[in-house]
Chain A
Amino acid sequence: MVRSPSLIELETVRYAYRKNGADRVLHNIDLKIRPDEYLLVCGASGSGKSTLCRTFNGLIPHFFGGSLQGDIRIAGIPTTEQSVGELFARLGMVFQNPEAQLFNRSVEQEIAFGLESIGLERSEMRKRIAETAAAAGIEDLLPQNPNELSGGQQQIVSIAAVLALRPQIIILDEPYANLDPVNVRRVRTALKKIHQSGIGIIISEHRLALTVADAERMVVLHQGRIVLDGPPETILRQDIESYGLELPLAVAVGRRLGLAKLPLEIDALIPLLPEKTAGDSVPAVSPAFEQSALAAVLKVDRISFHINGRSILRDISFAVNAGECLALVGANGAGKTTLLKHLNGLIRPTRGCVTVMNRPTQRLKVSQLARYVGVAFQNPNSQFFKLTVWDEIVVGAQALKCYDESWIRELVQLFELEPLLMRAPYRLSEGEKKRVAFAAALAARPVILALDEPTAGQDLFFRRSLGKLLAQLQQRGQAVLLITQDLSFAEQYAWRWLLLADGEIVADGLPGQVMRNQAAMERAHLEPTDRFRLFDREKT
C-alpha cells in the first residue's frame, strides 16, 4: 500500500495561551497526520485535546495568540505563514458547541457561508449545497433556522457546512458531547461515510467506546504530552486507565480472556464468547438499604404538563425514598428536565401533584421548596457569581436562612473541596466546577438531591469520584435522583430506573429489568449498555 505523505506536521510544538508562556498546555508535541487517516485524539479533561486540534487549522496561533514554539506545517508550509482564511477550506473544523457554531438564519445559508468565504460562483454554490444536503440527508432542513433543530440535526448541519468546502480533513472537537445514543449513531455513520469518500477525520473525544471501532489510529494525550500513538489494537493493550480513559467493556473483557485480536465493540466480542453457563446472570447492583424499610421523601402523583396545546408530560407517578438512588433515564427531548423542574416548583403541573415530606407543593414557592429539593443543573457556569468557592457554596443556604457552618465543613470534606475554597469558581476545571455545584445544591440540607446530567462531558476520574460520592451520600440516607442519558453510569450507581419516553414513564424497575424491556427501550430511543448485553446475551 502506498502511503500518502503527511498533510499536517508538528515538530516539538510547545504552546501556552498566555503570551509569557506560563501554564503551558502542550509540551514537545511531534505528530504527523496523513490526509486520509481516521485519527482519534483522546485524553482526560484538560489533557490538551482541544488545544492540539486548534493548532491544525491555524486558529492557534492566529486567533488565540499565546506563546507558540516549534513548527506546525500544513503541506510543508508553516502555519505562521498562512492565515486561517487560507487553511479553513482544506482543514474544516467542527466545534463542540453548536450554539456558537451555527450563526446563520437558515441551514441553507449556514452551508453557503464557507462557500461565500472562498468566493465561489453562485451556480457552483447552489450545486454544492444541493450535493451536500443530499449526502447528509438534510434536504428538508434547508429552509429551517438552525436554532430550532434538535442537537443531532445541529451536529449534522455543522458537519455539512464544513463538508461543502470539500476539505481534505475534517477536525471535530467532541462531536458526541451533547448527543443521545441514537444521534451518536447517526453522526458516527455520517463520519464513516465521509471517511470512505477519501476525506480524513480527526476527532477529539475521551469516551473510547464511541470511537475506537471507527478510528485507524489513536493518539493519547496526558497533561499536554503525547504518551501513546498507534493503531487502537495496540494502544488499547496499554495501561490507558491511568490517563483517565475508560477501556470499552469489550476491550476489557477481550484483554482478560487473552484474545489474540481485541474486539473493539460489544458486537464483535459476543460471538467470540463461550456459551453461557448456568448462574451467569446479570450481577445485581446490591442496594445498600432494604427498600421496604424506608419512607418516601418525594412523591409525584399523576402529573401531566401541557404548554401551547402540546403535551410534554403525561400521567407521571413515582416516589423517591430516603437513601435511595433513583435514575430518571431517557433520550434528549423525552421530558427529563421538564419533569425535574416540577420537583422544585420551577414548573407547575397542569394536573396532578408533587408532595415533598408529605406536604403538597402547589402552594410552596420555589425558594421554600429549595430547602427540601436540591438541584444541580447540567452547566455549573449558569450559577457561579461569587468570588470564592466557599461563598458560592453557602450563598443559597444564607438566602434560605438555614446556614449551618458545621454542615458546610462536612460537605467540603466530602466533596474534597478544601484546597479550592479560596479560588474563583470560574477558574476551576469543569469537573471541579461540578463538584462545587453539587456541594452548593446540598448546602441547605435538602431531603432529596437531583443531579441533571452529572456525567456529561466528564472523564473517567470524575465519574469514579462521583460514584464514590453517591455511595457515601446514600449511606447517610440522602435520597438522590440522577437525571441522565448516560446508561452505563446509571446502571452502576442507581438502584432503580424510571425510563422516560415522549413524556411518559414507559418502564420502572431494576436497571436490568428496564433494559430487558425491548419495546420500552426502543420507544425511548435508547440502547442497552454493553455490560447488560454481555451478561444478558442469550436473550438478545
Chain B
Amino acid sequence: MGNLLDPRTKLIMAIFYTILVVASKGLYWLLPEWGALIAFILVIGKGRDYIYLLRFSLPMTLFFGGVTWWTAGMESGLRAALTLITLVSVFFVFFQTTAPEDLGNSLVKIGLPYPVAFVFSTSLQFVPVIGRKAKTVLDAQRSRGIPMEPGWSALRHYPAFLGPLLIQAFQLAEELAAAMEARGFGHPGRTFYKDYRMDKADWSAIALSLLLLIACLVRQYIWN
C-alpha cells in the first residue's frame, strides 16, 4: 500500500484534503469526508491503531468543540470538533502510509537540505530509545524509594527523573554524532539508495484529487 505513490504525491494529496476539510461549510460535508477516511483506514487494516488514536485525541476534541459551542453555538461547536477529528485522521492516514524517512529523502530531491531531512527521520527513530531510557530511570528511582507515581509528591522529585534522563540523552547524542561522523555523514557527494520518482500514477493521482477538490469547493461556494 505504502509504495504505490511517491511520498511527495501523498503529501500533496494530504494538503488538498486538509484544504477540503478546513473549507467545508457544514456537517453535511464534514461527515462524509470523515467517513471516507475511516473507510480507507479500515481497508488498509489500521482500525485498531486508529481507535487508539481516537481515544487519545478525544479529550482535546471535546474541549475544543465545547469551547466553540459555548461561544458560538451548537452547530459551530459540532463543526469545530468534527473538523479537528477529521484533520487528525488525515495526518493519521498520511503517516500510516508514508515513512518519515521516505518523505524526508524525497523532499531532499526537490531542494530540502539533507541534514534537515535526516534530523527529522532520525529523531523519530530515537523516540522509542528515549522512551526505554525514561522507563529505566523511573524503575531505578522507584526501586530505591523515591516516589515517581503521578501526583503532587512526584513533582518534588522531578529532578530525579529529568536529571539522569537528560544527561543520558546528551551522552546518546554525542555517541550518535560520533557514529554518524564515522560513517561519512556530511561528506560531500552523497548519493541516495532509494529512488524517488514521480511517475504517471503520481501525476494522475494529483490531477484527480485537484479536480475533486475544485469540484467540492465550487459546489459549496459557487453553485450552492
Give A residues with C-beta under 8 Å from B.
57, 59, 62-64, 83-86, 88-89, 92-93, 95, 97, 99-101, 103-105, 108-109, 112-122, 125-126, 129, 145, 147, 161-162, 341, 344, 346, 366-367, 370-371, 373-375, 377, 379, 381-385, 395-397, 399-400, 426, 440-441, 443-444
Name the one of B137, B179, B195 contacting A101, with C-beta atoms under 8 angstroms.
B179
Which of B100, B129, B141, B193 counts the most A-chain CB atoms under 10 A from its CB?
B193
Q: Which of B145, B147, B168, B189 is A382 in contact with, Cβ under 8 Å? A: B168
Closest-by-CB residue of A relative to B156 is A399
> Can you report 6 A-B residue pairs in the complex whose CB atoms are below 8 A from each other?
A64-B178, A86-B187, A104-B125, A121-B191, A147-B128, A366-B143
Cβ of B112 to closest chain A Cβ, rounded Å: 16
With a CB–CB cut-off of 8 A, which chain B residues contact A383?
A: 137, 140-141, 144, 160, 164
Q: How far is the CA of A304 from the CA of B157 in the complex (A)?
A: 33
**B52: shortest Cβ distance to chain A, in Å?**
14
> Shortest 4 CB-CB distances between A and B: which pairs?
A117-B184, A385-B163, A396-B144, A85-B187
Complex interface: chain B residues within 8 A of A117 (CB): 183-185, 187, 190
Q: Which residues of B contact A63 (CB under 8 A)?
A: 177-178, 181
Q: Check if B193 sits within 8 Å of A115, measured CB to CB.
A: yes
Instruction: Write out the residue numbers on chain A whose beta carbons fall within 8 Å of the beta carbon of B185.
Output: 117
Complex contacts, B100 vs chain A, CB 8 Å: 105
B176 and A103 within 8 A (CB) = yes
Q: In whole Å, how far is A305's beta carbon from the nearest beta carbon of chain B? A: 15
Partner of B175, one of A97, A344, A382: A97
Q: Across the interface, which residues of B come within 8 angstroms of A92, CB to CB?
A: 182
How far, in whole Å, are A371 and B143 apart by their CA atoms in the complex? 9
The answer to whether B184 and A85 have CB atoms under 8 Å apart is: yes
What is the 8 Å Cβ interface bit string for chain B, positions 189-206, against chain A (1 contact, 0 not)?
A: 111111100000000000
User: Is residue B110 within 8 Å, beta carbon to beta carbon, of the partner chain?
Assistant: no
Nearest A residue to B158 via CB reads A385
A100, B182: Cβ atoms closer than 8 Å: no
B160:A59 contact, CB within 8 angstroms: no
Residues of B contacting A161 in the complex (Cβ-Cβ under 8 angstroms): 183
Shortest Cβ gap from A67 to chain B (Å) = 18
Q: In the complex, what's the smallest C-beta–C-beta distance from A341 to chain B, in angstroms?
A: 7
Q: Are A374 and B144 in contact (CB under 8 A)?
A: yes
The residue that A370 contacts in the complex, of B122, B145, B160, B168, with Cβ under 8 A, is: B145
Chain A positions within 8 Å of B141 at CB level: 383
Name the residue on B nearest A145 (C-beta): B125
CB-based nearest B residue for A115:
B193
Q: Is the CB of A381 within 8 A of B168?
A: yes
- The count of residues in chain B whose C-beta lies closer than 8 Å to any C-beta of chain A is 52
Q: A373-B143, A382-B136, A383-B141 are in contact. List 4 more A-B contacts (CB 8 A).
A: A57-B182, A119-B191, A341-B139, A399-B145
User: Do B193 and A84 have beta carbons less than 8 Å apart?
Assistant: no
A119 touches B181 (CB 8 A): no
B145 x A116 contact (CB < 8 A): no
Considering the chains assembled together, what is the distance between the CA atoms of A371 and B167 in angstroms?
28
Residue of A nearest to B166 (CB): A385
Residue from B145, B163, B181 having most chain A Cβ neighbours under 10 A: B145
Q: Of B139, B140, B145, B195, which is within 8 A of A444 by CB?
A: B145
Min CB gap B170→A, angstroms: 11
On whether A395 and B146 interact (CB within 8 A), knowing A119-B190, A381-B164, the answer reads yes
Q: Does B99 contact A (CB under 8 A)?
A: yes
CA distance A125 to B191 in the complex (A): 10
Instruction: For B184, give its contact among A100, A114, A341, A396 (CB under 8 Å).
Output: A114
Please state if B172 and A426 are interface contacts (CB–CB under 8 Å): no
| Distance A88 CA – B183 CA, assembled complex (angstroms) | 6
Binary interface encoding of chain B residues 42-74 relative to chain A, with 1 for a CB under 8 A from any of its CBs, else 0: 000000000000000000000000000000000
Residue of B whose beta carbon sits closest to that of A375: B143
Chain A contacts for B182, CB-based, 8 A: 57, 59, 84, 88, 92-93, 95
Complex contacts, B191 vs chain A, CB 8 Å: 115-116, 119-122, 125
On whether the beta carbons of A59 and B178 are closer than 8 Å, the reply is yes
Q: Could you tell me the distance in whole angstroms from the C-beta of B124 to the nearest C-beta in chain A?
A: 8
Whether the pair A88, B184 counts as a contact (CB closer than 8 A) is yes
A114–B183 CB distance below 8 A: yes
Assess whether A95 is in contact with B175, with CB atoms less than 8 Å apart: yes
Q: Does B180 contact A (CB under 8 A)?
A: yes
Contacts of B136 in A (CB 8 A): 377, 379, 382
A166→B187 CA distance, assembly (Å): 17
Selected from A103, A113, A162, A441, the residue in CB contact (under 8 A) with B144 is A441
Q: Are A371 and B184 in contact (CB under 8 A)?
A: no
The reply to whether B183 and A147 form a contact with Cβ atoms under 8 Å apart is no
**Is B187's CB under 8 angstroms from A367's CB?**
no
Task: Say yes or no: A396 contacts B145, CB within 8 Å.
Answer: yes
**A63 CA to B190 CA in the complex, in Å?**
20
Tell me the nearest residue of chain B to A95, going by C-beta: B179
Q: For A443, what are the chain B residues with a Cβ–Cβ distance below 8 Å?
A: 144
A341 to B142, CA, bound (A): 11
Which residues of chain B have C-beta atoms less than 8 A from A444's C-beta? 144-145
Inter-chain contact A112/B99, CB cutoff 8 Å: no
B24 at the A interface (CB under 8 A): no
